[in-house]
Amino acid sequence: KELSKIPMPVNFSEPLSMTQRLTEELEYSELLDKAATCQTSIEQICYIAAFSISCYASTAIRTGKPFNPLLGETYELDRTNDKGWTSLAEQVSHHPPSLAHHAEGRGWTLWQNFTMSSKFRGKYLLVTPLGTAHCKFAKTGDHYTWKKVTTTVNNIIVGKLWIDQVTA
C-alpha cells in the first residue's frame, strides 16, 4: 500500500509541513547568486550541481517526516532583505501528494514540482521523488533541470533511524 495514505504516529514527524521543507532547499541560495554572475556555462553548472545537492546537507541529523500539507495550503517566504529572494510553495494535489514551488532571486528563477512514491520494504522505507527542478538565469537565459535522488530511511521498526540518498 502507498505509505502516503497510511496515518503515521505524530512522533515520526518534525514540526513543519512539506511546503516549508521545500522552501528550506533555498538555504544555500548564494550558490545560485554566484551562478547568475558566472561568465561560462561550465562554471555555472558547477554551482548548479553544488546547489542541487545542498538540500541534503541536514538529512543526516533530520530523520523526522514533515507533515502533509492540506490541499491548497501555501507557504510564502520573503527573504529579499537578507538573501535576495522570495519563495512560494503550494500543495496542489493531495492523492498523490504533489507540491509546486517557485522562487525568484538575484538573477535567477527556480521552480519545481515535487511528487513522490514511497515503498516500505520491512527494515527500510524507500522514497522516490518524481518531480523535476528547474533554474533559469536572467542574464544568459541558460536553463538547467535536475531530478532529486532516492532517499532510504533505514531501521524503521527497530534501531536508530538513519538516512541515505542514492541516485538511480
pLDDT tens column, 4-34 = 566 667 777 788 999 999 999 999 999 999 9
From the number of C-beta atoms within 10 Å of its C-beta (0-12, 13-18, 19+), residue 150 rates as middle
What backbone torsions phi and psi does residue 11 show, to the nearest 5 degrees? -70, -5
Q: Residue 8: its pLDDT value, please?
A: 67
Q: Which residues pair with 89 in a beta bridge?
A: 75, 101
DSSP state of 5: G
Contacts 24+ apart (CB under 8 A), 36-39: 36/105, 36/106, 36/107, 36/108, 36/137, 36/138, 36/139, 37/107, 37/139
Task: Give per-residue pLDDT as tens, 75-131.
Answer: 999 999 999 999 999 999 988 889 999 999 999 999 999 998 888 888 888 888 999
Torsion of CA 139, 112, 68, 52, to 10 degrees: -70
Q: Is residue 146's pLDDT more than 70? A: yes
The SS3 assignment for 130 reads coil
Q: Residue 153: its pLDDT value, please?
A: 85
Q: Residue 82: its pLDDT value, please?
A: 97
Q: Is residue 145's pLDDT more than 60? A: yes
Write the DSSP string, 56-74: TTTTTT--PEEEPPPTT-E
The residue ranges of every structural domain in the chain are 3-115+133-147
Q: Is residue 2's pLDDT more than 80? A: no
The size of the chain, in residues, is: 168
- pTM listed for this prediction: 0.87
Q: Is residue 54's pLDDT more than 70? A: yes
